């Protein structure tokens, strides 16, 4: 989690995180690094597919709390709305 980076380095860092986000989530889940998981979710580096895969990974490791955080993130950021109209 970067501190005091200039714009060029910050941009490079963000590109790296986005490109490697799923692997970073897997490692954070495996090592129980809650701070990194929360950072990746709060900064919205995790896309919908990555969130689903990370959830499945956490579930497989029986990481219930992490799985709940990921589901909450998915619901907040990727909730799909089905609109139905009756005529």
pLDDT for residue 5: 80
Kindly give, in sequence order, each residue whose CB lies less than 8 Å from that of residue 71, ignoring residues fewer than 6 positions away.
Answer: 55
pLDDT for residue 54: 97
CA distance 19 to 15: 6
Up-side HSE of residue 13: CA atoms within 13 Å toward CB?
12
For residue 82, pLDDT beyond 90? no
For residue 79, pLDDT beyond 80? no
What's 44's DSSP letter? T
Token pair of 3 as six digits? 């501190």
pLDDT for residue 6: 84
pTM of the predicted protein model: 0.81
pLDDT digits (tens, 9 = 90+) for 44-64: 999 999 999 999 999 999 999
């Amino acid at each position: 989690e970067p501190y005091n980076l200039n714009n060029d380095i910050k941009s490079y860092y963000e590109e790296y995180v986005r490109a490697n986000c799923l692997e970073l989530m897997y490692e954070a889940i495996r090592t129980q690094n809650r701070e990194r998981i929360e950072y990746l979710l709060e900064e919205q580096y995790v896309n919908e597919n990555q969130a689903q895969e990370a959830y499945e990974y956490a579930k497989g490791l029986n990481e219930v709390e992490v799985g709940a955080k990921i589901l909450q993130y998915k619901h907040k950021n990727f909730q799909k709305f089905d609109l139905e109209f009756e005529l």
